[in-house]
Amino acid sequence: REALDRLLETNNFPEFIRRVCLAPCEGACVLGIIENPMSIKTIECTIIDKAFEEGWIVHQLIGPGMKRVVIVGSGMAGLAAADQLSKAGH
């Protein structure tokens, strides 16, 4: 659970980014100088798969008293902004 919390601090959409990311960070891993680099993508996939199996990821719907915000745009930046605003109670 702690690994999921850490992942969600830095990644707004790990549940689908894990499948489409080409993992350029693995090529930049300094561990690769002396051995195989860490498989960051595999680690993140394992964390998210476990989170879904355990029911730790719950989709948040608009509740009573929540503020409404309009996000213009549908790219990753707009989606990330919407996710952060939702977490803030909007």
pLDDT in tens, 68-83: 788 887 788 888 888 8
Report yes or no: 29 and 38 within 8 Å, Cβ to Cβ: yes
Segments forming the whole domain that contains residue 54: 1-58
3-state SS, 49-70, equals HHHHHHCCCCCCCCCCCCCCCC
Please tell me the total count of domains within the chain.
2
What is the reported pTM?
0.65
Whether residues 49 and 79 fall in one domain: no
pLDDT in tens, 1-47: 999 999 888 888 787 777 788 888 888 888 778 888 778 888 888 99
pLDDT in tens, 39-56: 888 888 899 999 999 999
Q: Give the span between the Cα atoms of 72 and 42, in whole angstroms.
A: 33
Whether residues 48 and 4 fall in one domain: yes
